[in-house]
Chains A and B, each alone.
Chain A
Amino acid sequence: MGGMSTKQRIGWVVITVVVLLWSLFPVVSILMTSFKTQAGLFSGKFLPPEWTWENYATILAPGGSAQDLFLPSLRNSIGISLISTVVAVVLATFCAYAIARLDFRGKKLILTTALAVSVFPVVSIVTPLFNLWRSIGLYDTWPGLIIPYLSLTLPISIWTLAAFFRQIPWELEQAAQVDGATPFQAFRKAVVPLAAPGVFTTAIIAFFIAWNDFVYGISLTSTSAARPVPAALSFFTGASQFEEPTGAISAAAIVVTVPIVIVVLIFQRRIVSGLTQGAVKG
């Protein structure tokens, strides 16, 4: 940054502020809405005229009107997203390792298929899936969502991890094998520790994809047995026909954003780049 003139620096500050405002405004706006009373919603002001926890009580406190809807769906969302992330990352780790290290027939095919699956429009397979799931009993269950989520998370995980494994020098594994390791030990002791940052990055991406899904969530569930939060939000209702559930939805949106922020903060420290430095001539 030392090489910048005052003019450039001011330019950068202005751009940064504009981008921050642009991206943070909706979030802050929702945060403010979640603290407004029913009457405050229509005040037309950015800040709540009157601060209240009422909306949070609606979705979280015992006896809150939307609590039955929100809490089970939060549990569903966390459970389903975590399981599909773990499964995707474990499967993708093995798959990507094979793709990066081995020379086998059909390697290109796997990669292209993965890419094709990930760009396939979700909406077009939702209806067939709905019918299929109903006839085989997966409709409105956790596995019924985990499986389609895997189709979204696996391809991207395979691609990211394969790129990551390719950077790890093969000599490390060979050295481990000469030092007395079985191929699996070499993988576990020499490759996995180095791949950890890549694996965590991939896990975060996969988790976001599952967490943010709406189309599968709304189409393949009917009760709180498996309905995730994004779908549940659309079922919120006001206290009467003439009341909008805006406040409660805003509060729920804030609540589901919090885990994501926590996840990012936890894993941020583990995404340490440059760990491979020193393995080979640096």
Chain B
Amino acid sequence: MASISLDHVVKTYPDGFTAVKGVSLDIADGEFVILVGPSGCGKSTLLRMIVGLEDITDGELRIGEKVVNDLAPRDRDLAMVFQNYALYPHLTVYENIAFPLRLARGQFSDSEVDERVRRASALLELDEHLERKPANLSGGQRQRVAMGRAIVRQAKAFLFDEPLSNLDAKLRGQMRTEIARLQRNLATTTVYVTHDQTEAMTLGDRVAVLRRGELQQVASPRGLYDQPVNLFVAGFIGSPPMNFLPGIVEGDRIRLPLVDVPLDDRLRTAVGEREIVIVGIRPDAYEDVDTLEPHKAEGGVRFEADVDVTEWLGEVLYAYVPFETHDAVREKLAELDRDLDGEGMRTQLVVTLDSMSTVRAGDAAELWFHPDSMHIFDAETGDSLTRDEDRAAELEEEAKEQRRRALERAKRRAEREAQAAADGEERASA
């Protein structure tokens, strides 16, 4: 196990395209870090540079204390799970898992290989499939074999390249929790690439958001959600995505489409001298006034909205409210949409309502939100103006603390198991 540190890592392809533009990132020993971003953001390239399948054009990559820029993949001692699993089709499941051990010739006796393979297969519940060939396995089973091959030799770190993207939704959810459990148990440093933000939010201790080869923000999932540094991170994290509205400052009020909001101290400071800003409000910040408890409604803003379409999903109701955006921010928001792989044809507000809400398509609904839930972004640079550094640091501290406790638990569990095994041997020899 080891830490991984990237120092201004750059990847330029021979054709001149720069896929990764100077990324610096420190991954602590035992940490689970997610690289996330829309397609083409350089996240997979970054991972392949860590494992050694892509050359590093510039910058420095260290595993532990050692600079590994020029080491071949096999000398880096990392284990990787590929998107397509990359199982060896001519070998049985058993031999697939044993493959890395067999390559380390002389290091493991046959009985050691057998013991390790059995342990990995037991952990991944592959025992009954050991003699089968990969072609005869289901997608989820192949996925588990690929993971078995990664965990069998206790590498310094695990690298995952979109490991769940070939599975269907249900299996993906199950495997996601499996990976989380496995990583907590083994406490091995893990770097995980995904474009799926559910995976990013649920799995990672920290999440690194990338955009066009540049690192935008590295923070705990909560930190990203609550205190995004800019429009891109705010728009990428969260589903449905954050609503971005043009905000025109007029005296002590800020005028949004559909509603005017009074400026309190927090917003006043954020806005400063600007006349126009981009306001971000998460869909779940809105409430239907009809289902809102009266004491909560104090201090909020109410407005009427014509609901265009509703989607009832059982646990929530999504309502869509079209609005006219402002020319000054139209270009910026369209660019953001393209960056996020979107193809938004119209500007609309997405609102998450209680599933008991009676709002239906075509209704005029009365909605509510609290100004405290507003994020404000600069209309030119896209930087967040409401980001609270103290709060962000606090969130990171909490996440770190949680992580430390989880690692301790894993360590204690490992000690207990080692103790139990030793006891068992003593008893057997006695």
Contact = CB atoms under 8 A, between A and B. Distances in A.
Contact of A279 (B74, B87, B103): B87
Interface stretch (B78-86, B198-206, B308-316): B78-86
A169 B53 CA distance: 15
Interface in B52-109: 52-53, 72-74, 78-80, 82, 84-90, 99-100, 103-104
B137 interface: yes
Nearest to B103: A180
B103 A185 contact: yes
A194 B84 contact: no
A251 B79 CA distance: 62
Given A177-B53, A178-B53, A178-B73, A280 B135 contact: no
A171 B73 CA distance: 13
A266 to B, nearest CB: 20
Given A275-B90, A279-B86, A280-B85, A174 B142 contact: no
A181 interface: yes
A206 interface: no
B221 interface: no
A169 to B, nearest CB: 7
A174 B86 contact: yes
Interface string A29-64: 000000000000000000000000000000000000
Count chain B CB atoms within 10 A of each CB in A169, A178, A281 and give the residue with the most. Answer: A178
Nearest to A280: B84
A181 B142 CA distance: 21
Contacts of B135: 274, 277-278, 282
Interface in A186-215: 189-190, 193-194
B82 A194 contact: no
Contact of B89 (A174, A176, A275, A281): A275
A178 B51 contact: yes
B86 A180 contact: no
Nearest to A174: B53
Contact size range, A: 20 to 34
B166 interface: yes
B298 to A, nearest CB: 54
A178 B80 contact: yes
B152 to A, nearest CB: 9
Contacts of A193: 88, 90
Contact of A176 (B90, B99, B139, B153): B99
Contacts of A182: 72, 74
A278 B136 contact: yes
A185 B149 CA distance: 17
Contacts of A174: 53, 73, 82, 86
A125 interface: no
B133 interface: yes
Contact size range, B: 20 to 34
A175 B86 contact: yes
B134 interface: yes
A175 B161 CA distance: 12
Interface string A162-182: 000000010110111111111
Interface string B40-56: 00000000000111000
Contacts of B90: 193-194, 275
A274 to B, nearest CB: 8
Interface in A229-282: 274-282
A281 B90 CA distance: 15
A276 B89 contact: yes
A210 B273 CA distance: 86
B74 A177 contact: yes
Contact of A171 (B79, B84, B139): B84
Count chain A CB atoms within 10 A of each CB in B79, B90, B137, B153 and give the residue with the most. Answer: B90
B102 to A, nearest CB: 9
Nearest to B14: A103
A90 to B, nearest CB: 20
Contacts of B86: 169, 171-172, 174-175, 279-280
Given A172-B88, A174-B82, A176-B88, 17 more contacts: A171-B86, A174-B86, A177-B72, A178-B52, A178-B53, A178-B80, A179-B79, A189-B88, A189-B103, A190-B88, A193-B90, A274-B135, A275-B90, A277-B89, A278-B87, A279-B89, A282-B135
Interface of A: 169, 171-172, 174-182, 185, 189-190, 193-194, 274-282
18 contacts: A169-B84, A169-B86, A172-B88, A174-B86, A175-B80, A175-B82, A177-B53, A178-B53, A179-B99, A179-B100, A181-B74, A193-B90, A276-B89, A277-B135, A278-B136, A279-B86, A279-B134, A280-B86
Interface of B: 51-53, 72-74, 78-80, 82, 84-90, 99-100, 103-104, 133-137, 139, 142, 149, 153, 166
Q: What 9 A-B pairs are tightest by C-beta distance, nearest first?
A: A278-B135, A175-B86, A278-B134, A280-B84, A179-B100, A171-B86, A180-B103, A279-B89, A193-B90
